[in-house]
């Protein structure tokens, strides 16, 4: 028996984007009423138009996001963004906001490692964009040794936004480890026993793009 768990924030017109970036515009190119003349009054359709930067909502970063000579969104195999065995691990934040975890390397290998802090509860408020958690150097060392397929977080940047060198993006993406930021609802998942999906469109020179991140959870139905 399977159930699906949404792990993404919805996209809507005028929502907050990454600080300093414009808010998205999601509107009609042609609405139902205006379209009727095209179909001689016999049908109507809504044709939407979206204008936005690609770092909005819950999104995936490709290696091209950081490195111009590495894989863009069009070059990422489906096996690296769909049906990945997942693990949820609670992040432990220190006074400097850096996050560590308690885990062994073999637990993380080949998985989508989803780090839960509860920061997503701030979504929709100004406090979400305050200096938040980020992945510690020790954690990055563990991840690179362990070789997960992907790392996802329920806060707004894997890096300390006060550090312009962005060491976490640099080290993870150079190691071929994909990043998903702004996840939510990780508390609805078991620690293991699920598959993770975060599939972006195949865009040539696509660096980052919103995804409908979700989990497919295996549930025992009690039958022999």
Domains of the chain (ranges; CATH) run 2-6+55-218 (3.50.30.50), 19-52 (no CATH)
**Token pair belonging to 199:** 């599939």
Q: Determine contact, residues 178/76, Cβ cutoff 8 Å.
A: yes
The pLDDT, as a whole number, for residue 223 is 45
Q: Per residue of the chain (224 residues), what is the pLDDT tens digit?
A: 899 999 999 999 999 888 899 999 999 999 999 999 999 999 999 999 999 999 999 999 999 999 999 999 999 999 999 999 999 999 999 999 999 999 988 999 999 999 999 999 999 999 999 999 999 999 999 999 999 999 999 999 999 999 999 999 999 999 999 999 999 999 999 999 999 999 999 999 999 999 999 999 987 644 44
Other Cβ atoms within 10 Å of 107 Cβ, number: 16
Q: Determine contact, residues 133/120, Cβ cutoff 8 Å.
A: no
pTM above 0.85, yes or no: yes
Query: What residues have CB less than 8 Å from 55, skipping those under 6 apart?
Result: 17, 18, 21, 208
Can you tell me whether residue 57 is helix, strand or coil? Answer: coil
The pLDDT, as a whole number, for residue 219 is 79
Cα torsion 101, 134, 146, 118 to 10°: value is 50
């Amino acid at each position: 028996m399977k159930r699906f768990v949404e792990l993404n924030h919805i996209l809507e017109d005028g929502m907050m984007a990454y600080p300093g970036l414009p808010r998205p515009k999601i509107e009609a190119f042609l609405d139902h009423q205006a379209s009727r003349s095209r179909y001689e009054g016999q049908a109507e359709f809504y044709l939407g138009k979206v204008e936005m930067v690609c770092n909005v909502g819950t999104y995936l970063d490709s290696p091209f996001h950081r490195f111009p000579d590495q894989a863009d969104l069009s070059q990422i195999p489906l096996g690296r963004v769909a049906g990945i065995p997942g693990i949820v691990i609670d992040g432990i934040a220190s006074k400097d906001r850096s996050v560590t975890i308690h885990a062994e390397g073999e637990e993380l290998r080949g998985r989508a490692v989803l780090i839960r802090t509860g920061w997503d509860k701030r979504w929709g408020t100004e406090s979400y964009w305050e200096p938040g958690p980020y992945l510690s150097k020790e954690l990055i060392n563990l991840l690179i040794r362990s070789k997960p397929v992907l790392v996802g977080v329920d806060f707004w940047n894997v890096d300390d936004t006060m550090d312009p060198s962005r060491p976490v993006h640099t080290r993870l993406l150079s190691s071929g480890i994909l990043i998903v930021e702004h996840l939510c609802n990780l508390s609805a998942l078991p620690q293991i026993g699920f598959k993770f999906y975060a599939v972006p469109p195949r865009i040539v020179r696509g660096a980052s793009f919103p995804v409908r991140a979700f989990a497919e959870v295996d549930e025992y139905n009690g039958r022999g």
